[in-house]
Structure 1
Amino acid sequence: MPLYIKIAVRYLLSLKTKALSFMTVISLLGITVGVSALLITLSVMSGFLWGIKEKILETSPHIVIFKISGKFTEYNEFPDIYLKGIDQIEAYQPFIYSQALASKDSTVVSVTVRGVPPEKDKKILGIDKKVIAGSYESINEDNKVLIGKDVALSLNVWLGDSITLTSPFGRKTPLGFIPKVKKVYVGGIIDFGMYEYDSTYIGMNLKAAQNFFDMKDSVTGIQIEIKDPYKADIVKAELEKKIHFPYIIRSWTDLNKSLFQALQLEKLAMFLVLALIVLVASFNISSLLITKAREKRKDIGILKTVGADNRFILKIFLFQGLIIGLIGTILGLTIGLSVIYFSDTYQLIKLNPEVYMMEYLPLKIGILDIVTVALSSMVICFISSIIPAYMASKEIPSEVLRYE
């Protein structure tokens, strides 16, 4: 161990002045609390973002392909032409997605009608696993639908009850525009765990949706399931090399980009705000080192007299600050990671799933976040030590030892 580090450690462990020892402990605790708070907050933001993504992936296709001009009637031969040969693609299916009104007696709610081939939809989105009452297979019948649990609550209906669907795409007659109306029966009730879906979803088979919306043999688009949904942008780029206008390709991250950007911005804002805790704690290090330098003026003078140069003295006080920062950072990381592990493993933070779309708050932290927190803490501690160390290195031995 270099001599200047030995001297730095000795100065830090010196118990001659109780006030300085207390300041050392306070500086250490400040860094520890700041690092652990920063780490836990980042894990909360990352965990919430991860939970949102998982919920979205449970209810959304990984990639969708739309046609923006004309009717999408070539959906049967489209996969054989454009989707074959891409290893990541596991399944695909046509779908219809449109708005409508659902009514029962005097109650009317706005809904989103989704028409799919029932058997294929099982594989891609696993909707059948979210049915809490009735049967998923009921939508094989043209006059039966699946509805979200909050739609059922709003309309006050149960299995076997009838509801009236009104399509915005009606037909023109000599008497004016007449909307298309269809009477359907509740064949199943679904719980997505997301209010946005539970309060608007109505599912029916593809043929029934085509007839209801007068789409004949056309669809809204094709939805695709891939092996790794987090590689959706890579698969999208590969598809864009083969598929061009008038088709548009959107990944699940594209469809929810504004939400993800908002959460990432909040995470950055929280990092900057909580980094101020570490910054404030670093002021304690500066004041501690300035006080140490004044107390050790005699020692500095003697060291310079026996041959120590300014760089040697500078290193002594720099390393005092770095040692405090290193110990505080290690303790903070240990405490923070322990809290994250136990909170996530035992699901300690419960949430209202109707509000937050998840039953508990997952805490997730990545290696990059840990490294960023540790480096930020050490850099702040290093910068706060520069001025006191520089002041100590500029002491003049003759002035210091004049009255000794």
Structure 2
Amino acid sequence: MISKLELLIAWRYLGAQRKSLFVSLIGIFSMLGVSIGVFALVVALAAVNGFEEEVTAQMIGKDAHFELMAYNGNPIGPYDSLTQEVQKRVPDVVASSPFIVYKVGISSKKVNDGIVIYGIDPATAKGVTDIHKYIKWGEYSVDSLEDMGGKRRPGIILGTGLAARLRVVVGDKLVLQTFQSPDEAMSSGGPKMMMCVVSGIFETGTYEYDGNLAYVGISDLQKLLGMGNTVTGIQFRIKDHWKAGEAVDSMATWLSYPYYGMDWKSKNITLLKWMNYEKFIVAAVICLIILVAAFNIISSLIMVVIDKTKEIGILRSMGFSKAGVMRVFMLMGSFIGVGGTVVGGTVGLVLCKLQEAYHFIKLPGDVYVIPYFPISVHAIDVILIFVIGIVLCVSATLLPAWKASRLDPVGAIRHE
């Protein structure tokens, strides 16, 4: 147990370092190093969390929480009964919508390209995805519109990157055409085509989506592809998107071949793993700052031991135990480490909370879809940071404290 006398001696030794300016400066810089390291770690992890949550929100905004499809890309026939079965067996489902996804060619007056086209029911699709929230120009509509010549054409919604590449704006005409093998082209008379009018342009902030996706009405795409009343799959949204994987796993216990489910995390597994690795690497690199500060604590305490050798000898001759001397110097280093951790962590948390409330750190609007630096403080991260900072600093006191406890009392008193 730590006695009041040990606490008092440790505190007085810490303050008495003022007699030796050099030793005192090392202690001050050690505390500053710990504070800077903890501050940087709090802010960096909050920033990584903020960007991760923004990217995740955009993933979920484009994707449903989970999808039901058939193996080998086979179309799903009458899907109403299948939808009802999922809604009955998965109680957390709050919305569903059929969809078609296909690769087609797209042409404007000046550019030809290949894209991924989604056929959606705009009314029910609003319940499972958030594309309607990202409309930047025009409106969220795939209903037929009049082109410049007064003829009604199916509406199409594009991402900003794709619209820029095709050099089109709301109201311009586009042509969709199917890809076919040479044999199919010869037997069918060539690829099927459909003319559309741009009704809306969306921007999610993720180039993969904004530069390669477009949306049309599900019935229009069925006609273009000759799919009759079939669809590619059914999209679902549940109450908690983090439980989408559990919903898919439970669905797999009763869903029979050829159907299978896939949640949003499985579709974006590579990006999610990369974000987790990034968070780990950032934390590991910044922890080196705290580690350097811990080595400074070792240097500071060793110099205190040398400076206080005679006083240590007097304490030992008065009956102070080796364990007591060791605890005194561990307490000195702990004061530095805990003080630095608390100061740095507090400043970092205050800065993060101010950024969350007032968004005073801005981001260029032409580069990022979000106009401010996103911050998200997680309690578990803060706890781990404080624990890591304190453990490293306390561990750094072991060597000098052990050295102080091993001093011979007689030799220490005779030390000049």
Query: Common fold, TM-score beyond 0.5?
Result: yes
Equivalence for 1:38 = 41
Q: Compute the displacement of 1:354 (Å).
A: 5.8
% identity of equivalent residues: 29
Kindly indicate whether the alpha-carbon contact (under 8 Å) linking 2:363 and 2:372 is maintained by their aligned counterparts in 1. yes
User: Quick one: which amino acid aligns to residue 56 of structure 1?
Assistant: M
Equivalent pairs counted in the alignment come to 404
Secondary structure (helix, strand or coil) at the match of 1:109 reads strand
CA RMSD of aligned residues (A): 2.2
Distance, in Å, in 2 between the alignment partners of 1:135 and 1:24 is 63
Distance, in Å, in 1 between the alignment partners of 2:133 and 2:399 is 63
Distance, in Å, in 2 between the alignment partners of 1:123 and 1:11 is 66
Whether 1:167 aligns to 2:171 is no
Equivalent of 1:67 in 70, 73, 76: 70
Deviation per residue, 1:89-116 (Å, 9 max, x gap): 1011110011111112341122221111
Equivalent of 1:341 in 306, 329, 353: 353
Secondary structure (helix, strand or coil) at the match of 1:178 reads coil
Equivalent of 1:330 in 314, 336, 342: 342
Equivalent of 1:241 in 238, 248, 253: 253
Equivalence for 1:218 = 230
Whether 1:81 aligns to 2:122 is no
Change in 2 beyond 3 A, CA 1:131/1:27:
closer
Distance, in Å, in 1 between the alignment partners of 2:50 and 2:392 is 27
Equivalent of 2:118 in 114, 118, 141: 114
Give the TM-score normalised by structure 1. 0.93
Equivalence for 1:153 = 164
User: Quick one: which amino acid aligns to residue 10 of structure 1?
Assistant: R
Change in 2 beyond 3 A, CA 1:331/1:403:
closer
Structure 1 segments unaligned to the other structure (5+ residues): none
Which is worse superposed, 352-361 or 180-189?
352-361
Equivalence for 1:265 = 277
Change in 2 beyond 3 A, CA 1:17/1:122:
same
Kindly indicate whether the alpha-carbon contact (under 8 Å) linking 2:142 and 2:217 is maintained by their aligned counterparts in 1. no
Give the TM-score normalised by structure 2. 0.90
Q: Compute the displacement of 1:48 (Å).
A: 1.0
Q: Compute the displacement of 1:85 (Å).
A: 4.1
Q: How does 1:383-398 map to 2 (within 5 A)?
A: 383-398=395-410
Q: Compute the displacement of 1:173 (Å).
A: 5.7
Equivalence for 1:11 = 13
Q: How does 1:366-381 map to 2 (within 5 A)?
A: 366-381=378-393
Runs of 4+ more than 4 Å apart: 173-177, 352-357
User: Quick one: which amino acid aligns to residue 18 of structure 1?
Assistant: L
Whether 1:302 aligns to 2:314 is yes
Secondary structure (helix, strand or coil) at the match of 2:192 reads strand
Distance, in Å, in 1 between the alignment partners of 2:385 and 2:133 is 41
Distance, in Å, in 2 between the alignment partners of 1:47 and 1:90 is 27
Deviation per residue, 1:307-345 (Å, 9 max, x gap): 111111111111111111110000011111112112232
Secondary structure (helix, strand or coil) at the match of 1:150 reads helix
Kindly indicate whether the alpha-carbon contact (under 8 Å) linking 1:118 and 1:140 is maintained by their aligned counterparts in 2. no
User: Quick one: which amino acid aligns to residue 123 of structure 1?
Assistant: G
Kindly indicate whether the alpha-carbon contact (under 8 Å) linking 2:142 and 2:154 is maintained by their aligned counterparts in 1. no
Change in 2 beyond 3 A, CA 1:174/1:317:
closer
Distance, in Å, in 2 between the alignment partners of 1:340 and 1:403 is 51
Q: Compute the displacement of 1:62 (Å).
A: 0.8
Equivalence for 1:127 = 131
Change in 2 beyond 3 A, CA 1:399/1:187:
closer
Equivalence for 2:150 = none
User: Quick one: which amino acid aligns to residue 154 of structure 1?
Assistant: R
